[in-house]
Structure formats: C-alpha cells, structure tokens
Structure 1
Amino acid sequence: MKNNVRSTLLKTTTGHTISVTIFSPEKSNNKSIVISSATGVLQKYYSKFATHFSTLGFTVYTFDYYGIGKSKTKNIKQNTADLYTWALDQAAVIKFAKQEQLQHKITLVAHSIGGQLIGLNPEIHLVDSIVTIASQTGYWKYFKGFYRLRMIVFWYALIPITTPLFGYFPAKKLGLFENLPRHVVYQWRKWGVHPEYMFSEFSDLQFSNIKCNVLSLSFPRDSYAPKETVDWLASKFTNTKVDRRHLIPEDLQIEDVQHFGFFREQFKDSLWQLTENWIGTH
C-alpha cells in the first residue's frame, strides 16, 4: 500500500508555530496516530515507524517541539519555551489531527517525556487510546548504581553549570541529543530532583482524568527508564485500565531494545506488530 508525506506549520495556543509531518495512507482504516517524541529527539527519528503504520492504513502525525528541529524559529538563546509549552505542542497536534479527520479514532504514541507531557495536555480527552514507550519519572533516587550517579550529575552539575554558560543546554556538545531551550531544562531539573517529579509543581494534572485504555511499555537494560520509573508514571493513570508490560527481549527472541530501540525498523514484525494488535483491540 502506498502513502504520501506532507509537512505543515501549525500555530499553537501559545502563538508560536511548530513543524508537523503527516503520513497519509492510500486507503485509510479510519485511525490516526500522533507520535510525541522523547526529549531532544527530532521527529525524523520516528519516520520509519510512521511510514510503516501509514502503509497499514493509519494517518500518522509527527512533530518537533518548539525550539528544536524544524520548529526552531529563533535563536535558541531567545527561546522561552518550557515543558508546559511542549505539552501544548502535543495538544495542538492532537487537536489538528482530530480536525483533519473527525471520524478517526486517535492513538497517542508517546516516547519517554512525551508520556509525561500527557499530564499537562488539555486536549488529551480527544484521544481514544494511549501507548507510552519508556515513559517514566526522572527522579534520581529511582535509579541504581552508576545510573543513579549519572542522574545526580545531570541534575546537579551538567544542567546548572552549562546552561547559564551557553544560554541554552548544549546537549550536542555533550553527545546527548538536540540542544534544548534553557527554560525546558530548568523545569525538567526542578522535577528531577523532587520525589514527586512533575507533581511537585503541578497538583492538577490530567492523568487521573484519562478514561481511555493505556499500554505502558518498558524494557530491561534501559538506563534512562528502569522498570521502577515507568511503573511510577503508569500508576498515575488512576481511572483507567493500564496494560503495563515490561518486555524481555530474550522472551520475544529479539535484540536488545533499551530506551531508543523500539522505533527501529528491525522491530517491525515484533514490537510494531504488538502495538498494531493492541491498537486494533483497544
């Protein structure tokens, strides 16, 4: 089945514009998928996953959060976006997807911080199912051994020292991900040093209002989202059924997945198939 790809600029409720890519199928199954990226990961990383699902009949939307990738419209030092801004980006794309295809059921596929932003998304009621991939709390005490030390250094040294120095978080220079606006990392750090993470700043979050089915996936040897951290976030969906799965690669006879592997094409016949089957029944 063929598909076509187009890009557009979408204005959000904050007044800025973000870049959205739409993967349209040749023959629609009347379902849409919105992919919400991990921190500092560009939408192009998800293009093979999006292309695959569009060949199955889904209309798929990817986007870059404001301040990175194709949504970087000004000097990053002047960018005032924070994580709430990014949650409104997620909301804007979901609303856009619904307006484009009114009859479609929408699945939000949220990677890492994308699943956290659900709590701040005022349009989350528009989705019909949610799949979170390694979405977690970043509170450092949920990590163990070397990875706990790495989180401590990240929250207490890397961000506080480098961000004022550069005027933004120089993630590329550190070999991490895309550079981030300073208010994004300052707010992220504020959460990461508190046991209640984002709940320490926001008491009225959307997690408890969600009624649709949720699939929460995690993987062993994911140093950015250990099982306990994903369990924590999954527990916040208090008024719906959460299908919580910690998938063991050896049991599925697949290669290691860790934090970023899920969206690699090599998992088309395993993890992607599992996701398609779950969406089909939920």
Structure 2
Amino acid sequence: MSDEAILSSTISGQPISIRCEDGVVLGGHLWRAARSAPVGSVIINPATGVLARYYHRYAQFLARRGFDVLTYDYRGIGQSRPQQLRGCHYRWREWGERDFEAVLQFMVKHRRDGPLMVVGHSIGGFLPGLAASAGMIDRMLTVGAQYAWWGEYAPRRRLRLFVKWHIVMPTMTAFYGYFPGRRLGWLEDLPRGVANEWSFRGRRFESSHPKGERKEVLRRMAAVTAPILAVAVCDDELGTVPAVRRTLDYYTGAQRTAVLLTPSDFGRDTIGHFGLFHDSHTAGFWTDTLSWLQEERNPWPASSVNSGG
C-alpha cells in the first residue's frame, strides 16, 4: 500500500479488555499501525472525566503514521464504569498505580517494535510516575499535565474555578455519592474518591497518600527516566506554566523540557485545556508531535520555557 493510501485509509480500533491486579476490568481500544513494522507504541492517558473516545481520532492519526496505539478509560469512567457508581471509592492514585500499570504491562506484552511512549493529557501526564513499571517507558509527551492544585489555576479564573471544583464539586459529591459531572455538563461523572482527591488536593500530590507511603510515591516518580516534552498553552486555565513545572519537578530522574505554545502559533484565537486534541489540529499540533514521537526532537525549540534532568 502506498503512503498516500495509508494516510487516507480508515483504521478502526480493536476493542480490548484489560484486567488490573485487583480484578477491575478496563475497557479500551488497540489501534494497530497501518504497516507491518510499526515505528513504536503509544499509550494515550486521558484527562480527568474525559472519555477515551475523545482521543480516538488522534489515535487513528498516529496509527496511520506507523504507531500501535492504545486508548482506554480509567476505572469509573466510560467503558470502565461499574454498574453502580454511587458510593464507589476509586481514587486518582489508583488510576496510576493500578490502571496505568495494567495498561503498561498489556502494551509491553503486545508491542511489536520500536520505543514505548506515553501521551498524557492533564492528570494523564502525571499518572505514569505512580506505576511500578514506569521505568519501561521510553518517551513521554504531556499536554497541560498537572494535578489541579487550585493555587496554580490561571489567576484571572482562579476564584471561579475554586468555587466550581472545590466547593460545588465536593458538595454535589457528598449528596449523590459520586460527582454528577455529566448532569451538570461539566465532564463525565466521577467516582467519589477521584472527585474528593481533586477537591481537597494540597500543594503536594503525595499529601493525599498515608504518611508511610509518601516516600515510595516520590521514589516511583523519580525512577522514571524517559525524556519528557511537556506542552503548556498560554490560555489553559488549569495547565498553567507553574502547574506544568510542578508536575515536571516530580520527575527528577528524567530529562525534562517544557514549551509554552500560544493559540496564534496555530492560527487560533483560543485553545484552552482541551483544544489540542480536536481534529482541527491535524495539520498543526498533531503533525508537530510526530517529531517528538518519531525522532525525540522538540518541534517547538523557540517556545521552550524550562528544562531539567
């Protein structure tokens, strides 16, 4: 098949189920590269309360360009939602320690060729460091990666966001036994534990863990050696530069580069926290990401704001 035919072909994701160590079953899709020898494997970690299907078009884009791609929903969300969400105590930390760990092991088992990479959106860029096997990751691309500490929300929106996520959300969660995000039109419904971790998160992520476990959390984050390219967008009210840097500060064992992009870089007026994964960015941001995923080359060197490691 010619390159032109591959790029115009329709690639469907194969439905998969992944069993976590504690017996929870996650739903997802595996998108096989449109060539016999893939250039690598990519796991896409969603943002909090965002269905995996939001990233399916980006997954298909990557599969057309030679990557095997895995998309999945965290426990409590979408295809991984239990029959009864009320009273479910799934937590953010389990999305990393159990869900991502199981997905990573699955991808290692089914990988064919090339490096193993992660594209993490929002909390999805922080969770890899909680997995025991995160040392198997070869490269990471994060977009707006942070864990929603209110003190680093964009100053112009901080009060509104504090009321929304740290007053309304815990109040609604206490009443319903889960957060009814879909009913409010804010995001997908969230398990009680996830919603409360977000609402009551302190300055330090590990503060939500028992004191005896906090050193292990930091050790796991530091054990990640995969180079990280962290993308921030100037009009992202959640993934601000300080919030993105805070996430990178946990990955002390990795070479870290942060870039700050603007809507005007892509001929837009706004992008925000979610816009870069919309398929209107196929010829722009999506194509740019191939430089990092294929060659470990930063496609936005002039936009670098910090680096480490």
TM-score computed with the length of structure 2 as normaliser: 0.85
Q: Does 1:36 align with 2:45?
A: yes
Q: CA deviation at 1:155?
A: 4.5
Q: Does 1:95 align with 2:105?
A: yes
Q: Does 1:203 align with 2:215?
A: yes
Q: Distance in 1 between matches of 2:80 and 2:287?
A: 31
Partner of 1:165: 175
Change (3 A) 1:77 1:269: same
Q: How does 1:114-263 map to 2 (within 5 A)?
A: 114-191=124-201, 194-199=202-207, 201=209, 202-205=214-217, 206-254=220-268, 256-263=270-277
Partner of 1:85: 94
Q: Is the CA contact (8 Å cut-off) linking 1:98 and 1:104 kept in structure 2? A: no
Q: Read off the aligned partner of 1:79 and give its amino acid letter.
A: C
Deviations 1:179-231 (A, max 9, x none): 0110111222232xx22234553333322111111010010111122222112
Partner of 1:15: 23
Q: Is the CA contact (8 Å cut-off) linking 1:20 and 1:64 kept in structure 2? A: yes
Q: Distance in 1 between matches of 2:251 and 2:172?
A: 35
Q: Is the CA contact (8 Å cut-off) linking 1:130 and 1:214 kept in structure 2? A: yes
TM-score computed with the length of structure 1 as normaliser: 0.93
The more displaced of 7-16 and 69-78 is 69-78
Change (3 A) 1:254 1:75: same
Aligned pairs, how many?
Answer: 280
Q: Distance in 2 between matches of 1:24 and 1:155?
A: 37
Partner of 2:299: none
Q: Read off the aligned partner of 2:82 and give its amino acid letter.
A: T
Q: Matched residue of 2:41: which SS?
A: strand
Q: Read off the aligned partner of 1:163 and give its amino acid letter.
A: T
Q: CA deviation at 1:137?
A: 3.7
Q: Read off the aligned partner of 2:188 and give its amino acid letter.
A: E
Partner of 1:46: 55
Change (3 A) 1:80 1:144: closer
Q: Is the CA contact (8 Å cut-off) linking 2:42 and 2:117 kept in structure 1? A: yes
Q: Read off the aligned partner of 1:15 and give its amino acid letter.
A: G
Partner of 2:117: 107
Partner of 1:265: 279
Q: Distance in 1 between matches of 2:199 and 2:208?
A: 12
Q: Distance in 2 between matches of 1:11 and 1:200?
A: 25
Where structure 2 has 5 or more consecutive residues not aligned to the other structure, the ranges are 1-5, 297-309
Q: Is the CA contact (8 Å cut-off) linking 1:65 and 1:89 kept in structure 2? A: yes
Q: Distance in 1 between matches of 2:205 and 2:161?
A: 13
Q: CA deviation at 1:105?
A: 1.4
Q: Matched residue of 1:46: which SS?
A: helix
Q: Percent identity?
A: 26
The more displaced of 31-40 and 94-103 is 94-103
Alpha-carbon RMSD across the aligned residues, in angstroms, is 1.8
Q: CA deviation at 1:167?
A: 0.9
Q: Distance in 2 between matches of 1:73 and 1:156?
A: 25
Q: Distance in 2 between matches of 1:103 and 1:281?
A: 15
Q: Does 1:76 align with 2:85?
A: yes
Q: Matched residue of 1:35: which SS?
A: strand
Q: Distance in 1 between matches of 2:126 and 2:183?
A: 26
Q: Read off the aligned partner of 1:98 and give its amino acid letter.
A: V
Q: Read off the aligned partner of 1:223 and give its amino acid letter.
A: E
Where structure 1 has 5 or more consecutive residues not aligned to the other structure, the ranges are none
The more displaced of 235-244 and 171-180 is 235-244
Q: Distance in 1 between matches of 2:291 and 2:46?
A: 22
Partner of 1:26: 34
Q: Is the CA contact (8 Å cut-off) linking 1:172 and 1:178 kept in structure 2? A: yes
Q: CA deviation at 1:25?
A: 2.0
Change (3 A) 1:208 1:199: farther
